[in-house]
Amino acid sequence: MEENSYEMREYLFNDIYEKFYHRVFCTSMNVIRNRHLAEDVVQETFMKAYKNIDKLNDNSKIGAWLSTIASRTAIDMLRREKRRPCLPLEEITFSMDEDLLPLCTVESEIELLSMKEEMNEKMLQLSPKLQTVFSLKFISQLTDDEIANQLNITTSTVKTRIFRARKIVKDQWIRTEHSETSSLGA
């Protein structure tokens, strides 16, 4: 009985996700003005909504409710990003573009290789499910739909796994930077 209720909730929420994804994304883009960060906001918004869907009293207001969550989440993300500038995960590529190598200095090439090695180490610490989706997205450069088809899962599941994997890797990266900064100051 409980498992059936869980499946019904998943089904209904997937329907909400499909119906309101564009609206939530547009709301996020209006605040953030960065596609990658807006996608992060969308994922956070739907995760918050999923956790709090039982608190929604009037189902006819779900679109407005999601838009409010999205705009507040986007504002929070802007505040966090202003405090901590960093290189977006998408900018750390896993394969060197041979056409650009002559333009790179030795130092920047070594730094890029070091970042890739660090990223691979952090990726290996993910669970197998997250590792697979992360690898297909950022190493194989597949779209969310292509990953969903290849793994025989829904696109929303792919997006959720990508969000979780990115969050874990980002948190690990921040902890590493913080520990390095702390050791330098000691």
Q: What is the CA radius of gyration of the chain?
A: 19
95 and 154 in a common domain? yes
Query: Quick one: 37 and 51 in the same domain?
Result: yes
- We report the CATH number of the domain holding residue 34 as 1.10.1740.10
CA 146 vs CA 65, 132, 179: distances in Å: 31, 13, 37
Do 164 and 47 form a contact (C-beta atoms < 8 A)? no
Residue 99, pLDDT score: 45
Tell me, what CATH number does 143's domain have? 1.10.10.10
Residues 62 and 144 grouped into a single domain: no
Same domain for 180 and 93, yes or no, is yes
User: How many domains are there within the chain?
Assistant: 2
Q: What is the mean pLDDT of each run of 10 residues along the chain (186 residues)?
A: 67 87 91 86 90 84 91 88 60 47 55 71 84 85 91 92 86 69 51
Q: Mark whether 181 and 93 lie in a shared domain.
A: yes
122 and 103 in one domain? yes
Q: Examine the fold and report which residue of 66, 83, 100 is the final residue of a domain before the chain moves on.
A: 83
Q: How far apart are CA 112 and CA 143, in angstroms?
A: 24
Q: Are 12 and 79 contained in the same domain?
A: yes
- For residue 94, the 8-state DSSP code is S
- Among 59, 35, 24, 5, smallest CA distance to 156 is for 24
Question: Do 77 and 94 fall into the same domain?
Answer: no
Report the pLDDT value the prediction gives residue 101, as an integer from 0 to 100.
46
Q: Which of 33, 57, 83 is the last residue of a domain?
A: 83
Q: Quote the domain boundaries for residue 26.
A: 2-83
pLDDT value of residue 70: 92
Kindly state whether residues 75 and 96 are assigned to the same domain.
no
Predicted confidence at residue 108, as pLDDT, reads 58
**Does one domain contain both 177 and 129?**
yes
The alpha carbon dihedral of 38, 23, 46, 130 has a sign of negative
- What is the pLDDT at residue 118? 75
**What DSSP character marks residue 100?**
T
In a shared domain, residues 78 and 93: no
* Distance, CA of 116 to CA of 49 (rounded, Å): 34
**Contact predicate 28/69, CB 8 Å:** no
Q: Which of 67, 83, 99 is the last residue of a domain?
A: 83
